[in-house]
Chains A and B, each alone.
Chain A
Amino acid sequence: MTAAKIENKSFFSRFVATAKSNPIVVLLVAVSFVVGFTVPNFFSWGNLGNLISNTAIRFLIALGVSGCLITKGTDLSAGRQVGLAACIAGVLIQRGDYTGRLFKGIPEMNMWVVFLIVLAVGALIGCINGLIISRLKVPPFITTLGTQTIVYGICLVFTDAQPIGGFQSVYTRLITGRIGSVSGFYLPYLLFVAVVFGLLFWFIYNKTCHGKYMYAIGGNEVAAEVSGVNTKNTLLRIYIIAGVMYAIAGYLLAAKSGGASASMGMGYELEAIAGCTIGGVSTTGGIGTVPGVLVGVLVFELLKIVLQFLGVNPYYNYVVQGLVIVVAVALDIRKYIAKK
């Protein structure tokens, strides 16, 4: 009904309707404008580039998680999978002449070969999650809670909890590369990675059978099964795709940070879930869009930067971020309850 109402109205009234249904987003954008005009250097190219880079990587993780959320699942192993991918990439991409090399026996590897290895590991973990959830019917929350811990353990074992550095410069330079001037306006390469995956996911979610099946499972799994949807394989694919996205994010994150460790990506799954939820992915399933996920992640990253510029004690960040998550979900559920 809402969709129909909105369709026949002007751009302005549509804008108002959208704003009304996303109060958190409006509030945060307003706050950042206030901060921008009162705190110097907030509106700067450097800050913008920083925001884009941070958002790009979080966006990839959130895209991965979004499929799980839309099908009423979740993926708590996301952050640990990012950490594992970062560590595998880090170990294999260390320079041959680096003295702190973790595995001295293996030769220096090409960064693209490493990329493929990282992808394969991500797909494998996603596949394990997907098989447990779709075949053994273990609830996604529990399944991924388990794999989260397992992956972290594996990561600690093989890195021996040591930080990993000394990457091949070709790897860090490429991924942290940018278009534009050093001091003025620039666009990080990561932006283009995010755009490519954003478009790809938009296509998958809106134009392919897999996407439609995903929404159908979230809307009503029994009805989807009865309608001939292969729900098991669809869920399996969703978790594999998610694993691959975390792997890509981890690979990029290691380069961006110039180092990796087992604790890398800690808590990212919660940030990704929060971003999706703020962006309108419904916790009751069947609802969520790629632009929504982007907005949610962007707003969350914006919030972090705003707090940083306001000089808030970093420990308070957690308090504020937590509040935003709860309020956003409460508002989302209120919309749903109001319909009844």
Chain B
Amino acid sequence: MSEYLLEMKNVSKAFPGVQALSNAQLQLKPGHVHALMGENGAGKSTLMKCMFGIYKMDKGQILIDGQPVTIKDPMEALSKGIAMVHQELQPIPARTIGENIFLGRYPMKKLLGFIPVVDHEKMYDDTAKLLKKVKLRFNPRQMEGTLSISQMQLVEIAKAVSANCRVLILDEPTSSLTQNEVESLFNIINDLKNEGVAIVYISHKMDEILRISDEVTIMRDGQYIGTWEAKDLTTTSIITKMVGRELKNLYPVRENVPGEVVFEVKDFTSINPKSFRHVSFNVRKGEILGIGGLVGAQRTELMEGLFGIRSHTKGKIFLHGKELKITRPKDAIDHGVAMLTESRRTSGIMGVLSVADNISISSLKKYLDYNISINSKKVENLVQENVKKMNIKTPSSKTAIQSLSGGNQQKVIIGRWLANDPEVLILDEPTRGIDVGAKYEIYCIIAELAKQGKSILMITSEMGELLGMSDRIMVMCDGKCTGIIDGKDATQEKVMALATQFD
């Protein structure tokens, strides 16, 4: 019998254009909490999804009790005693807590001896027992939708526990929990430990890791770096191991010279108390302000707040010292602010429409004849100008944008915003899902725009990009700005330290 309850060996997984995992490994002992750590995109979630059968491994092996097994879907993972609490919850708000917990495996009984129906009584009794076990005081018949996000998270954990799992994967379980709730979660984890369950704990919060875990495995760029006893590690040593890689020269030389302050934000606070709060910063003319932080640091929310996609309760925005009132994207656009959104597919491209339609949509009023009729020659000029300037590869201006590659789509959307000649350009993950060659081209475009005197705010989750492209770096953690550092002095360690500065 193996000393390990579950082992993953030499796991590799590639997505189009990116090697997400190469030869990753993980060994879980019964009754131990195993922390899995790494930067954004290090491959932690991918590895767990391979274990849980959501992704199919290209290469590699999973052993349970020393026996090789194959797990081809989550149902099979559950039947083998593996349960997972996902980072992104997917509850059904209009059904009861009990139904959410027993979804897909309702206890059944026979009506009149032969008609199979759901045994609601048993379901709610079992739910009540479960909730008691995880120390939650809810009525099992209460609607899931009446719970807060963190309460739903605890219900989700109860659900995983109810599967009588031997391995429990918790993917950032505390990201939306309050301190008290974290304590009760830790109590549940300790109970499970004593029952011999192996727990995989993914988190960015160093203090939690050091407190709860027995072993720590660190990953970087899809590779296994090593496994250590938690008691031998410190916050600094973990950070060093997480980021310890050489930065290659992947970025263009920048010739922009930051000038006077153009855009200023003071005490900006979301209407959602869990989101961004009390954020103040400024951006200069011709400056690239990088915005770093971990997933969930509310960077996108902050930028969308500034652009009028999300609402804020407090705070002021100034452009050239004049206060702006922004309640919807159009207000921001009218004042010369542009925003490249994070998800090209959901809020960037209009897939079935042509490149010309996509590039001209936010500046159409410029191409009107007699104030009514759109001059298609002027639109065509705009397309050709951008095609030449940004090297957009498209068969024609009439081609549907969805048939272009990600990089070319992104250039078209950048072109859409530049057509308005904005002063402030917000770029949210401008190179996400783009291959390396096109990435460099986008960096060059960004550098050129800064040189022309545009003020650029760039969110990026890639450490290299953040350090390589920013004049200054604002780091956020848990909705707050934890520091602004000069690009020249910035190191990965400094950024990571600020990014993990939870209260």
Say whether A associates with B.
yes
For B368, the closest partner residue in chain A by CB is A209
**Per-residue contact bits, chain B 62-97, to A (CB 8 Å; 1 contact, 0 not):** 000000000000000000000000000000000000
The answer to whether B353 and A286 touch across the interface, beta carbons within 8 angstroms, is: yes
CB neighbours (8 Å) of A222 from chain B are 346-347
**Bound CA span A282–B352, Å:** 10
Q: How far is the CB of B362 from chain A (nearest CB, A)?
A: 4
The answer to whether B347 and A226 touch across the interface, beta carbons within 8 angstroms, is: yes
The answer to whether B364 and A3 touch across the interface, beta carbons within 8 angstroms, is: no
The answer to whether A203 and B373 touch across the interface, beta carbons within 8 angstroms, is: yes
The answer to whether B373 and A207 touch across the interface, beta carbons within 8 angstroms, is: yes
Contacting residue for A287 out of B341, B352, B395, B403, CB 8 A: B352
The answer to whether A228 and B353 touch across the interface, beta carbons within 8 angstroms, is: no
Confirm or deny: B494 has a beta carbon within 8 angstroms of a beta carbon on chain A. no
Contacting residue for A227 out of B354, B362, B373, B399, CB 8 A: B362
**Bound CA span A282–B362, Å:** 24
Confirm or deny: A97 has a beta carbon within 8 angstroms of a beta carbon on chain B. no
CB neighbours (8 Å) of A193 from chain B are none
**Per-residue contact bits, chain A 194-221, to B (CB 8 Å; 1 contact, 0 not):** 0000000001001111001101101110
The answer to whether B396 and A220 touch across the interface, beta carbons within 8 angstroms, is: no
**Per-residue contact bits, chain A 13-57, to B (CB 8 Å; 1 contact, 0 not):** 000000000000000000000000000000000000000000000
Q: How far is the CB of B256 from chain A (nearest CB, A)?
A: 26
**Bound CA span A138–B348, Å:** 25
> Considering the complex, which residues of chain B in the window 314-345 have a beta carbon less than 8 Å from any beta carbon of chain A?
328-330, 333-334, 339, 341
Confirm or deny: B457 has a beta carbon within 8 angstroms of a beta carbon on chain A. no
**Bound CA span A228–B362, Å:** 6
**Bound CA span A153–B368, Å:** 44
CB neighbours (8 Å) of A230 from chain B are 330
**Bound CA span A287–B346, Å:** 18
Confirm or deny: B398 has a beta carbon within 8 angstroms of a beta carbon on chain A. yes
CB neighbours (8 Å) of A209 from chain B are 364-365, 368, 374
CB neighbours (8 Å) of B307 from chain A are 226
The answer to whether A229 and B357 touch across the interface, beta carbons within 8 angstroms, is: no
**Per-residue contact bits, chain A 265-298, to B (CB 8 Å; 1 contact, 0 not):** 0000000000000000010111100000000000
For B360, the closest partner residue in chain A by CB is A212
Contacting residue for B333 out of A219, A228, A282, A286, CB 8 A: A228
Q: How far is the CB of A199 from chain B (nearest CB, A)?
A: 13
**Most chain B beta-carbon neighbours within 10 Å: one of A219, A223, A224, A230:** A223
> Considering the complex, which residues of chain A in the window 1-17 have a beta carbon less than 8 Å from any beta carbon of chain B?
1, 3-4, 7
Confirm or deny: A225 has a beta carbon within 8 angstroms of a beta carbon on chain B. yes
**Bound CA span A222–B334, Å:** 18
**Bound CA span A228–B398, Å:** 22
> Considering the complex, which residues of chain B in the window 407-432 have a beta carbon less than 8 Å from any beta carbon of chain A?
416
Q: How far is the CB of B388 from chain A (nearest CB, A)?
A: 18
Q: How far is the CB of B418 from chain A (nearest CB, A)?
A: 13
Given known contacts A207-B374, A222-B346, A4 and B399 CB-to-CB distance under 8 angstroms: yes
Given known contacts A208-B374, A227-B362, A219 and B398 CB-to-CB distance under 8 angstroms: no
Q: How far is the CB of A287 from chain B (nearest CB, A)?
A: 6
The answer to whether A223 and B347 touch across the interface, beta carbons within 8 angstroms, is: yes
> Considering the complex, which residues of chain B in the window 216-232 have a beta carbon less than 8 Å from any beta carbon of chain A?
none
CB neighbours (8 Å) of A284 from chain B are 352
Chain A: how many interface residues by the 8 Å CB criterion?
Answer: 31
Contacting residue for A219 out of B353, B396, B399, CB 8 A: B353
CB neighbours (8 Å) of B372 from chain A are 207-208
Given known contacts A223-B348, A286-B353, A3 and B330 CB-to-CB distance under 8 angstroms: no
The answer to whether A3 and B399 touch across the interface, beta carbons within 8 angstroms, is: yes
The answer to whether B396 and A228 touch across the interface, beta carbons within 8 angstroms, is: no
Q: How far is the CB of A283 from chain B (nearest CB, A)?
A: 12
CB neighbours (8 Å) of A215 from chain B are 350, 353, 357
Confirm or deny: B349 has a beta carbon within 8 angstroms of a beta carbon on chain A. yes
Contacting residue for B362 out of A4, A203, A208, A229, CB 8 A: A229
The answer to whether B353 and A216 touch across the interface, beta carbons within 8 angstroms, is: yes
For A286, the closest partner residue in chain B by CB is B352
The answer to whether A219 and B364 touch across the interface, beta carbons within 8 angstroms, is: no
CB neighbours (8 Å) of B373 from chain A are 203, 207-208
Contacting residue for B329 out of A216, A218, A225, CB 8 A: A225
Confirm or deny: B400 has a beta carbon within 8 angstroms of a beta carbon on chain A. yes
CB neighbours (8 Å) of A1 from chain B are 395, 399-400, 403
**Bound CA span A113–B351, Å:** 45
Confirm or deny: B309 has a beta carbon within 8 angstroms of a beta carbon on chain A. yes
Given known contacts A207-B374, A223-B349, A286-B350, A229 and B400 CB-to-CB distance under 8 angstroms: no
CB neighbours (8 Å) of B328 from chain A are 225
For B330, the closest partner residue in chain A by CB is A228
The answer to whether A228 and B403 touch across the interface, beta carbons within 8 angstroms, is: no
For B309, the closest partner residue in chain A by CB is A226
CB neighbours (8 Å) of B354 from chain A are 3
CB neighbours (8 Å) of A208 from chain B are 372-374
The answer to whether A223 and B364 touch across the interface, beta carbons within 8 angstroms, is: no
The answer to whether A212 and B349 touch across the interface, beta carbons within 8 angstroms, is: no
The answer to whether B352 and A219 touch across the interface, beta carbons within 8 angstroms, is: yes
Contacting residue for B395 out of A4, A213, A227, CB 8 A: A4
The answer to whether B339 and A212 touch across the interface, beta carbons within 8 angstroms, is: no
CB neighbours (8 Å) of A216 from chain B are 350, 353, 357, 361
The answer to whether B350 and A220 touch across the interface, beta carbons within 8 angstroms, is: yes
Q: How far is the CB of B284 from chain A (nearest CB, A)?
A: 25
CB neighbours (8 Å) of B398 from chain A are 3-4, 7
Contacting residue for A4 out of B330, B351, B396, CB 8 A: B396
**Bound CA span A213–B363, Å:** 11
The answer to whether B360 and A226 touch across the interface, beta carbons within 8 angstroms, is: no
The answer to whether B362 and A3 touch across the interface, beta carbons within 8 angstroms, is: no
For B379, the closest partner residue in chain A by CB is A212
Given known contacts A219-B353, A220-B351, A222-B347, A227 and B416 CB-to-CB distance under 8 angstroms: yes
Q: How far is the CB of B414 from chain A (nearest CB, A)?
A: 13
Q: How far is the CB of B422 from chain A (nearest CB, A)?
A: 11
For B375, the closest partner residue in chain A by CB is A207
CB neighbours (8 Å) of B402 from chain A are 339
Q: How far is the CB of A301 from chain B (nearest CB, A)?
A: 28
**Bound CA span A226–B361, Å:** 10
A-B pairs with beta carbons under 8 Å apart, 30 shown:
A3-B396, A3-B398, A3-B400, A4-B395, A4-B396, A203-B373, A207-B373, A208-B374, A212-B357, A212-B361, A213-B361, A215-B350, A216-B353, A216-B361, A219-B350, A219-B351, A219-B353, A220-B346, A220-B347, A220-B349, A220-B350, A222-B346, A223-B349, A224-B350, A227-B416, A228-B330, A229-B361, A230-B330, A285-B352, A286-B351
Give the top 7 A-B pairs by smallest Cβ distance, nearest first: A219-B350, A4-B395, A227-B362, A228-B333, A220-B350, A286-B352, A1-B403
14 more CB-based (< 8 A) A-B contacts, given A220-B351, A282-B352, A286-B353:
A1-B403, A206-B374, A209-B365, A212-B364, A215-B353, A219-B351, A222-B347, A227-B416, A228-B329, A228-B333, A228-B334, A228-B362, A285-B352, A339-B402
